[in-house]
Each structure stands twice: as structure tokens, then as C-alpha cells.
Amino acid sequence: MSCTVFTIANQKGGVGKTTTAVNLAAALAERKIHTLLVDLDPQANATSALGVEKIEGKSLYGPLRGEGTAMALLTPTGTPHLALIPAEVDMAAIEIELAQQENYLLKLRSVLEPVRASDGYRAIILDCPPALGLLSMNSLAAADHLLIALQCEYMALEGLGQILKVVERLKTAGVNPALDVGGIIMTMFDSRTNLSKQVVDEVRQHLPDKVFRTVIPRTVRLSEAPSFGKTIFSYDPHGPGADAYRHLGKEVAERFNLKPAAP
């Protein structure tokens, strides 16, 4: 059984990146695809969005410094088929410490390799900090596919160009030659504005093969769910946000041939 690693990255905050990481992971799990969400952000928003407490010593800080293993950090969530490696504030320090290590861009890849080889998961989703620092670079080095969460506004197009350049640099430098832009997820779509439609059209024109058909709407329920420690599926299971992430989960499963676990 193969395992596919996705990183959801964007150097800009507030674009629906963590919301997408959490709810895409939950959508895959709802399809009985064994999924692991790895929270790499010191703010630990993905951790709290799944209702998991931030506990000292439970993040990847130790393993990235050569202490302990990622396998020991696997944490169940309230969602069947979905596990988490939580984050906490000590992840902020690892950015500085990584820079002083050899092969500092490949640390995360080696830390996650035993998890990947364990056959426990079909999909691993990495949620990055909202900056292209060393943790985000490590996630790009560890991933098979980059999924870009892109807000439906014009400034987002500039950010898209920047992140695509970073991917090319990592590939040409030999850090992760196989890294692929797996897809662009258009988020925070406001159907009442022409701007949202224009941005989606423009991105689809530039990268027609990469943009997912599913567009994630801007909804109050999607914003509220994390503060209750719930995915959109347990907070508002029949609302437009849940429908959108359910469709995205189906698209991702089909695009990357992610199959449910055997009964």
C-alpha cells in the first residue's frame, strides 16, 4: 500500500490554508481513506481545530532535533480514519535550530519516513506556517505534491507566482526533483462579487490542468468551526462548506488514486 504526502502551503496567511488542510483531511477520512494530518505551524491552529489539546513535547520539535520519533506522536482524533501529529509553540524554535543542522532541508522527510513506510496511512497532509521559512521548505522537500490554497482575490495571484518559483528552485537544486504542483484550491469564493469569479477564471486560464473544479465558498460556518474544535463535517454537516470539502475530497481521491482502507 503506497502513501502519498501532500503539503498545503502558501506564504500568505488568512487564505484558508489550515481550514483546507483540516477539512480536506477529514473529507478523505470520511471516505475511509486512512489519513494523517501533520501540524507544522507553531500557532497549532490545525491541532485546536480538531479539538486536540496542545501538550508540551507532543510536536515534531523533538524528532526534528534527533530526539524521539514521529511514530510516538501519532494522536487519534474524533474523526474515524484521521490521525494527527499535533503542533505547539516550541515549533517556532525549530526554524532557528534547523538552520544549524546538516541537510537541514531534508530533516522532515527523514523524520516522516518511518510513518510513511508503516503502511498505516494512504495520505499524509502537512499544514505549514504562513511563511516560506525552513519548516515550509522542509514540507516541500518531504512532499510528493504541493496543494496551493489560493484566496479569490487579486493579491493572491502574486503569491502564486512566488510559490511556483520556489518549487522550481527546489526541483532544480535537487532537493526534491519529483515535487509536483498537485493542484490549486480556490478558497474564500464570494459568489456575490465579480472579483471572485474573475480571479478563478484567470487562474484557470493560466493553469487549466491544475485548478480543482471545486471552489470553497466563504462561509461563516467554516470560520466558526475551528473555535469549537470541530471539522466542518461535525459542525455543519449539511451546509455549503461541508458540501464543498466533500466534493474536494472526492476530486483529490480520484486525481491521486487514493483508495479506502480494506474492510
Find out whether 246 and 25 touch, Cβ atoms under 8 Å: no
**pLDDT tens, residue order, the chain (263 aa):** 689 999 998 766 556 789 999 999 999 999 999 999 999 999 999 999 999 988 888 999 999 999 999 999 999 999 999 999 999 988 888 988 988 888 899 999 999 999 999 989 999 999 998 888 899 999 999 999 999 998 878 777 777 888 899 999 999 999 999 999 999 998 987 877 787 888 888 888 888 899 999 999 999 999 999 999 999 999 999 999 999 999 999 999 999 999 897 76
Tracing cell 484550491 back to the chain, one arrives at 185
User: CA 240, CA 238: separation in Å to the nearest integer?
Assistant: 7
Is 73 contained in some domain?
yes
- 219 occurs within a structural domain: yes
Q: What is the pLDDT, as a whole number, of residue 1?
A: 61
Domain assignment present for 52: yes
Integer Cα distance of 51 and 176 in angstroms: 33
In a domain, 263, yes or no: no
Asked if 242 and 233 count as a contact pair (C-beta separation under 8 A), the reply is yes
Q: How far apart are CA 4 and CA 99, in angstroms?
A: 27
Count how many Cα atoms sit within 13 Å of the Cα of residue 47 in the half-sphere of its side chain.
26
Can you give the residue range of the structural domain that contains 54?
4-255
Candidates 146, 143, 172, 164; CA nearest to 252 is 146
C-alpha radius of gyration, the chain, whole number: 17
- Cα–Cα nearest to 227, from 37, 19, 14, 10: 19
261, part of any domain: no
Number of domains in the chain: 1
**CA torsion angle for 238, 12, 208, 5 (degrees, to 10)?**
-70
> What are 217's three cell numbers?
465558498
What pLDDT does 15 receive?
A: 66
**Whole-angstrom distance, CA of residue 201 vs CA of residue 58:** 42
Kindly state whether residue 133 falls inside one of the protein's structural domains. yes
| pLDDT in the model for residue 13 | 58
Dihedrals phi, psi of 217, to nearest 5 degrees: -75, 160
CATH number of the domain at 249, please: 3.40.50.300
> Is 210 part of any domain?
yes
Rounded to 10 degrees, the C-alpha dihedral 124/184/89/39 comes to -10
Query: CA–CA separation, 38 vs 42, rounded Å?
Result: 12
The answer as to whether 262 is a domain residue is no
